[in-house]
Chains A and B, each alone.
Chain A
Amino acid sequence: MAILRKSLYLLPAALLLPLFTSCYEDFDPGIKTTPKVCLNALLTADSTFKVSVTRTWRYDSGDPGYDFDIILKDAHVTATFPDGKMVELQYAEKDKYQPTPIEDPKERGYFCTRAPKAGETVTIRATHQQYGEAEATVTIPLPVEIESVKPRLLNLYKEETANGLSAKFTLDMSVVFTDPADSVDFYLFGLEHSHGLSKYYDEPDGSVTQGYAYISSYNENLSAEPLFHEHMSVLETIFGESYGYSMFSDRQISGRQYGLHIVAENTSIRINNPKHDPDFDNVLYFDTQLMTISDSYYYYLISVWNHYEGIGGTLGDAGLGDPVWEHSNVSTGAGVVAARNISSRRVYLEPLLK
């Protein structure tokens, strides 16, 4: 029987093997390339912003940051606002807030001290002596407020203690907003959780008591909201992955009120408040963010999804179809100058658990 089983495994494999014995050979395609100027910036309404000016590089020439530096520090960068004023941006390197060990500890780029307003159109131009120039224009979107968030807890498992509680649940929310009529709007939804709180109390006997409250884990299930899938064909839904992508357009909801269905599955929290300290009140929450985003931002996200998750991107990367490339609104085809306007609502968890 064992032999039979082995044969049954081996025979189809033997039949199929010749078709799937693909092999790979490194080579130089021999196509000459010329680096171009790349602009990246994310403008947020009422906030100052940074423009990253880099250059493109040949894919097989190595890793930027290791083999060579692509940051252009000597470019001439300007931002032009609707009132005709042009702001010259200066290159600077600032310390990054809590960088990870493998991350560049500095925030580098050309910083603009003027904050754009909603509805303003800003043009950014960079000129470099060696690599030429690049230009992009973006309009800061108008805000769309979150009208309400209707949260509820499903599958609640709660264990209360004298000093607090631990709980596991699915947070199911309806984030309601109204899409403005007579305009084409693009959105990005974001969900962030609080960092909680940790406090130490010195006891008279010299010992230390710890109080804490935190959200230990959750799984943001974006598949519950159909609008987050509108960019996916059925086949892509089968073979692709939508995890992490929450952009959508008003194609199906134009001018209507709509409730986004957001699910945070397997959410676990723990609260230990031995001193009944009021600082621990309402420290656990989720921030729901509805961002209206510029078309350049939306198309950039869609293209990134298509490239890395869609079938077209997979086949294109394999050389079996037309390639999918990332959308750029920069004149050189490299970089994205995006804009957003953020509307936020907070959902406190403790009242829901009572």
Chain B
Amino acid sequence: MRKRQLLILPLLLSATLAMQAQRVTISCHNRAAESAFKELMTQSGKNFIYPAGLLKGVRVTVTARNEELRTVLNRMFSGTGITYTIRGNNVVLKRDKKKASTQPKKKTAKAPEAPKSVTVSGFVREKKSGEALTGATVHDPASGLYTQTNATGFYSLQTRPGSLTLIASYPGFDADTVSAGTRRNVNFSLREGGTALNEVVVTADKNRSLTMESPSIGALNLSRADILATPALLGESDVIKTLQLQPGVSAGVEGLAGMYVHGGNADENLYTLDNVPLYQVNHFGGLFSAFNTEAIRTVDFYKSSFPAKFDSRLSSYMDVHTRDGNMEKFSGSFKLGLTSGALSLEGPIWKGHTSYSVAVRRSWYDVFTVPVLAIVNARKETDTKTIFRYAFTDVNAKINHRFSDTSRAYVMFYYGNDFLKGGSEDKPGHHNYYYEKEVNTLSWGNTVASAGWQYTLTPTLLGQLTASYSHYGSSMKRESKDGDVDDKGDFYNLSVERLRSSNNIDDISARLDFDWRPGGGNNVQFGASYIWHTFLPQRAHRSLEGDEYSAEVLDEGRKYRASQWDFYLSDDWQPLECLRLDGGLHFSLFNITGRTHSQLSPRLSARLTLGGGWALKAGYAHTVQYVHQLQESSLSLPTDRWIPIIGDQKPASADNFSVAAYFDTKAGWTFSAEAYLKKMHNLLEYRDEHYLLPPEATWDNTLCAGRGLSRGIDFKVARHWGALSGHVAYSLLWADRTFADRNGGKTYPARFDNRHKINVLLCWKINDKWEVAASWTGMSGNRITLAMQDWEDGGFGPWNNNMTLVEGINNYRLPFYHRLDLSATRHTRHGYWTFSLYNAYCHINTIAVRRDYADDYQWVTDQWGNQTMTLRPVFQKVKLIPVIPSVSYTWLF
């Protein structure tokens, strides 16, 4: 170890020297120190952190022109009794101890040896609501040591003993300074604000520290405000649509909440809601995701290097933390948009101890369609009643109880469901001799119930126990009746056909997670989980009843039960100021149909901070996946079944290699370049001509295993500066697949092999009333399979059509896709209006290509001399979404 440190030391030295070489220009005479620092902050992009009162009455005089920051600071503090240290992007100010040590010391009796260090722990929460703040910084200005909170708001800081004063800060919030004295449990409550330079200001974006400080590559933290600030289709902010603006994340088909990360498939993303995995995260057609923004507190997203805690998916992890509820006072909001309404309520049940949070979102199409159809169906001239209803619902509910400063528990419930019903029924009396009724019903969604208990076992160790039950289900029903009606209106010759199909997953799980901060720059996370899965990939039942006959078919509806064990251990260790390592292991066991699959998933990522705002990172992550969703299309259809691996199928796995470089400028810009190589093994896809096999009973035979390869690089330039923030991102991607039983065994490009993708996002808070945002997306088109040739039908089937000849999967790339979205938010006394324009310059993008016929008829003469009017066969671009204006109002109370 010593040897390694010796090797690193020269590097660190050079890095430190380079880091201090930032240059600033300033001229001030007897100016308040706070004001001078504000100017330096603007130029250097650094945060100035100092205890309250330190700068009170301090005035500085300095003139510098393009001089090093350190030189300027030396001159400013000369004779003030204040010293400083530069740590990463922070400039930490404190009283000069040398000066203090020059004071004569009183002789005292030899006291017992004091401990070398003490550990202070606690939580950082929002003052207004009591919600935990993830990624907040807790800092001891005396020692210069600092740490960050985890997703539960927990921190643990090992620092020097003595009478402590700690400062907690979080972007967008006023810092909170607590004189801890000898207390070892210190909680912070931060007040929203943080726009003025007062005691301590942290202006940096939380993701900037994630980028520059953390060893993670491609990690992102989103708050509810971040999601709300992103312009979205129909004004419905959505976490997945926000993530689609990130480099390396493809959106799939326009308008849908699809997510394809680094060339992976849609089912390779793990979505967890308060530690519970969800299977179905899209409402009808994927237009909206199942995550109601009103219920979200914060979201962690990982796309390159993954914490050891997560496994079970190959490409990305999205960890959604819901709101705990306001411990202090009742509050709520009601939002009405063009497609849905949302009501959110939260407040204390027992002030300071117990809170609740309820968020309900529901589409309201049926509010119009039901009465409209009632009127239409009531018209005498119509012979047939039309039956139609569609609705989606999300309910998030949570009760949170704080037993003490170290113990907290919650129960959480989530229900998300889509319901689509359509059909028709002949009106009695209109068809005297014939009657027909057909009703089709589709329903799908998730139900989750979970409970968790969080306990601070020691000041350095936080434990969390979670138990949950989740149900995913999709079902389709059809009932059709037809028969004759006699003069009295009685039915005869009645034939009734009933069909029912379902796909379910039931999970019962328990997990234990620990966050241990033993000091020495270590943050150890470990835990274990068990999931009892019950999969029902497909059950179909059909029956036909007539007056004198009946038939019934029940296709195989075998349930597969599986046990999944997961264990993980990781250590995020910072041995040196410039070096941070995060290594871990995830071990999983999956037992199904008497077979046990085991996988060891190592994780390693490292960050090396160089001088001048540079940081380098490298990472490796092995991931594994035991369940798959069979997608027949890029739409999110209820037919897309979730299935486990069975029989000879092997778990899918991926090896993710990534390297990254980051540059953080003094002017507040952050540049990043993240390159990755992802090798995927044992991917499952439908084999060529899988549709030739019967749809039920042999579903596993319709699949084949293969491999995938993705490589690319994500560039991003972000700036978070006062009222203006945003980013420009560019992704370069190659993604392909090779399956022995697909495309004749030849390698083919993945469907969302979007070679180039550019995203520009700008958010500007003009004043307290107005905020505007603009987002531009441009990317290489998705790939589709286009059958270019036809062959003559032999005429052996019931109809005579031309047959298609497919010569290569995903052989055509759709035209370049681009659009601009704009939004403006107007804050009022009781809430805010959101106005948005989706596809502002109305470039209607191509989402597909179809084979059809031209609109105009032409006369043609056949080889036998016959003349016929015919339509010419043509390839047509299918363009879907024009400019869509929308408005919503959110009432806050």
The chain A residues found within 8 Å of chain B, CB to CB, are: 5, 8-9, 11-12, 15, 18-19, 21-29, 31, 33, 35-36, 38, 40-42, 52, 54, 56-60, 62-67, 69-70, 102, 104-105, 154-155, 170, 172, 223-226, 229-239, 244-245, 249, 251-252, 261, 297, 299-304, 306-308, 310-312, 315-328, 333-336, 338
The answer to the question of B553 belonging to the interface, with a C-beta cut-off of 8 Å to chain A, is yes
Other-chain contact of A8, B375, B440, B798 (Cβ < 8 Å): B375
Pair B478/A237 contact, Cβ less than 8 Å:
yes
Q: Report how far A155 CA is from B864 CA in the complex, Å.
A: 48
Task: Knowing that A24-B877, A29-B875 touch, tell me 4 more A-B residue pairs with CB under 8 angstroms.
Answer: A29-B812, A102-B868, A233-B501, A318-B848
Question: 14 A-B contacts, Cβ less than 8 Å apart?
Answer: A19-B881, A21-B880, A22-B880, A40-B794, A59-B789, A65-B862, A154-B493, A223-B544, A234-B478, A238-B499, A321-B634, A326-B804, A334-B803, A336-B796
The total number of A-B Cβ pairs within 8 Å is 277
Closest Cβ of chain B to A59, distance in Å, is 5
The answer to the question of B828 belonging to the interface, with a C-beta cut-off of 8 Å to chain A, is no
The answer to the question of B785 belonging to the interface, with a C-beta cut-off of 8 Å to chain A, is yes
The 10 closest A-B pairs by CB, nearest first: A319-B848, A40-B794, A321-B633, A244-B798, A234-B501, A334-B791, A233-B695, A326-B803, A24-B876, A66-B860
Pair B634/A320 contact, Cβ less than 8 Å:
yes
Closest Cβ of chain B to A308, distance in Å, is 6
Pair A322/B785 contact, Cβ less than 8 Å:
yes
The answer to the question of B882 belonging to the interface, with a C-beta cut-off of 8 Å to chain A, is yes
As a 0/1 sequence over residues 534 to 563 of chain B, the CB contacts with chain A under 8 angstroms (1 = contact) are: 000000101010111101010000000000
- Scan residues 488-521 of chain B and give those whose CB is less than 8 A from a CB of chain A: 492-493, 497, 499-501
Other-chain contact of B870, A66, A104, A230, A297 (Cβ < 8 Å): A66
Complex: chain B residue closest to A249, CB-CB: B694
Pair A235/B863 contact, Cβ less than 8 Å:
no
- Scan residues 700-732 of chain B and give those whose CB is less than 8 A from a CB of chain A: none
Q: Report how far A26 CA is from B372 CA in the complex, Å.
A: 37
Q: Report how far A59 CA is from B805 CA in the complex, Å.
A: 10
Interface size class of B (residues with CB under 8 A): 35 or more
Select the stretch in B97-105, B178-186, B363-371, B616-624 that faces chain A: B363-371
Other-chain contact of B544, A25, A224, A300, A304 (Cβ < 8 Å): A224
Closest Cβ of chain B to A40, distance in Å, is 3
Closest Cβ of chain A to B801, distance in Å, is 6
Other-chain contact of B866, A62, A102, A311 (Cβ < 8 Å): A102
The answer to the question of B786 belonging to the interface, with a C-beta cut-off of 8 Å to chain A, is yes
Neighbouring B residues of A38 by C-beta, 8 Å: 791-792
Pair B875/A27 contact, Cβ less than 8 Å:
yes
Closest Cβ of chain B to A100, distance in Å, is 12
Complex: chain B residue closest to A102, CB-CB: B866
Closest Cβ of chain B to A26, distance in Å, is 4
The answer to the question of B457 belonging to the interface, with a C-beta cut-off of 8 Å to chain A, is no
Q: Report how far A316 CA is from B691 CA in the complex, Å.
A: 12
Pair B551/A226 contact, Cβ less than 8 Å:
yes
Q: Report how far A8 CA is from B803 CA in the complex, Å.
A: 45
Pair B549/A236 contact, Cβ less than 8 Å:
no
Q: Report how far A333 CA is from B789 CA in the complex, Å.
A: 11
Neighbouring A residues of B484 by C-beta, 8 Å: 155
Neighbouring B residues of A308 by C-beta, 8 Å: 799, 801
Complex: chain B residue closest to A188, CB-CB: B796
Pair B792/A261 contact, Cβ less than 8 Å:
no
Other-chain contact of A223, B497, B795, B847, B879 (Cβ < 8 Å): B497
Other-chain contact of B882, A18, A41, A102, A310 (Cβ < 8 Å): A18
Pair A231/B549 contact, Cβ less than 8 Å:
no
Pair A319/B850 contact, Cβ less than 8 Å:
yes
Q: Report how far A65 CA is from B852 CA in the complex, Å.
A: 19
Neighbouring B residues of A297 by C-beta, 8 Å: 796
Closest Cβ of chain B to A302, distance in Å, is 5
Pair B876/A26 contact, Cβ less than 8 Å:
yes
Complex: chain A residue closest to B686, CB-CB: A322
Pair B633/A315 contact, Cβ less than 8 Å:
yes
Decide yes or no: A60 and B805 within 8 Å by CB, A12-B365, A320-B633 being known contacts: no
Neighbouring A residues of B598 by C-beta, 8 Å: none
Neighbouring A residues of B45 by C-beta, 8 Å: none
Neighbouring A residues of B633 by C-beta, 8 Å: 312, 315, 320-322
Neighbouring B residues of A223 by C-beta, 8 Å: 497, 544
Q: Report how far A241 CA is from B788 CA in the complex, Å.
A: 26
Q: Report how far A33 CA is from B786 CA in the complex, Å.
A: 12
Q: Report how far A268 CA is from B540 CA in the complex, Å.
A: 36
Pair B368/A327 contact, Cβ less than 8 Å:
no
Q: Report how far A59 CA is from B812 CA in the complex, Å.
A: 15
Neighbouring B residues of A23 by C-beta, 8 Å: 844, 879
Pair A238/B478 contact, Cβ less than 8 Å:
yes
The answer to the question of B872 belonging to the interface, with a C-beta cut-off of 8 Å to chain A, is yes
Other-chain contact of B847, A261, A312, A319 (Cβ < 8 Å): A319
Pair B868/A66 contact, Cβ less than 8 Å:
yes
Pair A224/B493 contact, Cβ less than 8 Å:
no
Closest Cβ of chain B to A27, distance in Å, is 6
The answer to the question of B245 belonging to the interface, with a C-beta cut-off of 8 Å to chain A, is no
- Scan residues 313-357 of chain B and give those whose CB is less than 8 A from a CB of chain A: 338-339
Closest Cβ of chain A to B548, distance in Å, is 6
Complex: chain A residue closest to B544, CB-CB: A224
Pair B851/A59 contact, Cβ less than 8 Å:
yes
Other-chain contact of A29, B369, B635, B849, B870 (Cβ < 8 Å): B849
Pair A245/B375 contact, Cβ less than 8 Å:
no
Neighbouring B residues of A104 by C-beta, 8 Å: 864
Q: Report how far A25 CA is from B847 CA in the complex, Å.
A: 12
Complex: chain B residue closest to A9, CB-CB: B372
Closest Cβ of chain A to B748, distance in Å, is 11
Neighbouring B residues of A24 by C-beta, 8 Å: 850, 852, 876-879
Neighbouring A residues of B866 by C-beta, 8 Å: 102
Complex: chain A residue closest to B374, CB-CB: A8
Neighbouring B residues of A311 by C-beta, 8 Å: 632, 637, 639
